[in-house]
Structure 1
Amino acid sequence: MSDWGPVFVSWILFVLLSPGLLFQLPGRHRVVEFGSFGTSGAAIMVHSFLYFALVCIFFLALKVHLYIG
């Protein structure tokens, strides 16, 4: 049996935290912009840190596992 939890959690977080898809932090004209479909270097850095922090929380603190098969 293989553990698919980290794969699914990483994929979902990657899609949801893509800068400009759902929100962009920091935005170009405001602090937070929703659905702008644009990005900047600062937004990429902030979203990368958020992604890293959430992945660490899900994998190290919550120990998410999903076994298929």
Structure 2
Amino acid sequence: MLGRYLYRMRGVQCEPEHIVMTSGATQALSLIAKVMLGPGSTVQIEDPITYDIQTIFRSSGATLQPIPTDAYGMVMEA
């Protein structure tokens, strides 16, 4: 059911076993950091970003690379 909704509303094609439900962004980012990151990983993050988000990524051993933002989001040229 959720897979059909995601396809109809967002164009995302997925199977139920590909969907992970979390209680919010903090839990989702913690899970991503634990599964995908480790020492030597680099994470590009918006600058400024909350201390909590920085802590999540640093706890995995990743190095943070702050990217400045403007009114439209991250300034990727930086």
Relative to the length of structure 1, the TM-score reads 0.24
Bigger share in strand: 2
Bigger share in helix: 1
Higher RCO structure (Cα 8 Å, ≥6 apart): 1
Relative to the length of structure 2, the TM-score reads 0.22
Larger Rg over CA atoms: 2
